[in-house]
Amino acid sequence: MTGKDALIVVSGGMDSVTLLYDMKDSIAMGVSFDYGSNHNAREIPLAEMHCRRLGIPHVTINLGFMHQHFKSSLLEGADAIPEGHYADANMKSTVVPFRNGIMLAIAVGLAESNGLKRVLLANHGGDHAIYPDCRPAFIAAMDAAAVAGTYEGVRVEGPYTGLTKADIALKGKALGIDYAQTWSCYKGGERHCGRCGTCVERREALAAAGIDDHTEYDD
């Protein structure tokens, strides 16, 4: 673990898996959160697989209370997930209130408990319009709170905050990542639906990066 001072929040999606490989030399631990979303069961095994492949310890933390008490179409079943473009207004229904704030608070405590100095989150520029807890101001505020609230001054970092998903896909292409071994679809079925906002965004990013898309889609 010499020189490894970071913990990564890794979902098993394109963005966090890319960040995992991009910064693997400084990552000492990966953490996933099971908050009862439609797609957690598809994503988390992939997060575990990629961490294991890189020899990075991984833990999954259950946040079942969010599914029980929070309002979001992401927590209501596949039929509640809107279809269309990721930037469409109806995608706001997929917001899980303060999800990243809750996860980052736990991740910061986990990092300090394990003697780590940084927490990495793979939010990106395409998230900003829909998700308040992915925006630059939020990352800066959580970073300040983490520094103020830990003895060791743990930092919260969003290295991809200013990038598009296509930019991230280009990084993954250079890293040789097989994106068929990641999950995006919010419906969480046997295959990607190909029609929900995250599927549309995934397809556009892979096409823009010139990556052959081997994802299995329903359509």
Q: Consult the annotation and say whether 12 binds a ligand.
A: yes
Question: % helix / strand / coil in the chain, to the nearest 5?
Answer: 50, 10, 40
Q: 10 a known binding residue?
A: yes
Reported as type and span, the H/E element at residue 137 is helix 136-149
Consult the annotation and say whether 142 binds a ligand: no
9 marked as part of a ligand binding site: no
Residue 18 labelled as part of a binding site: yes
Q: Is 19 annotated as a binding residue?
A: yes
Distance CA 30, CA 55 (A): 10
**Would you say 17 is a known binding-site residue?**
yes
Could you report how far apart the first and last alpha carbons of the chain are, in Å? 44
Q: Is 16 annotated as a binding residue?
A: yes
Known binder of ligand: residue 185? yes
The answer on whether 193 is annotated among ligand-binding residues is: yes
Taking CA 14 as the corner, what is the angle to CA 180 and CA 184, rounded to the nearest 5 degrees? 75
- Determine whether the annotation assigns residue 20 to a binding site: yes
Residue 30 assigned to a binding site:
no
Residue 93 among known ligand-binding residues? no
Task: Extract the annotated binding site for Zn(2+).
Answer: 185, 193, 196, 199
User: Binding site for ATP, residues?
Assistant: 10-20
**Binding residue ranges:** 10-20, 185, 193, 196, 199
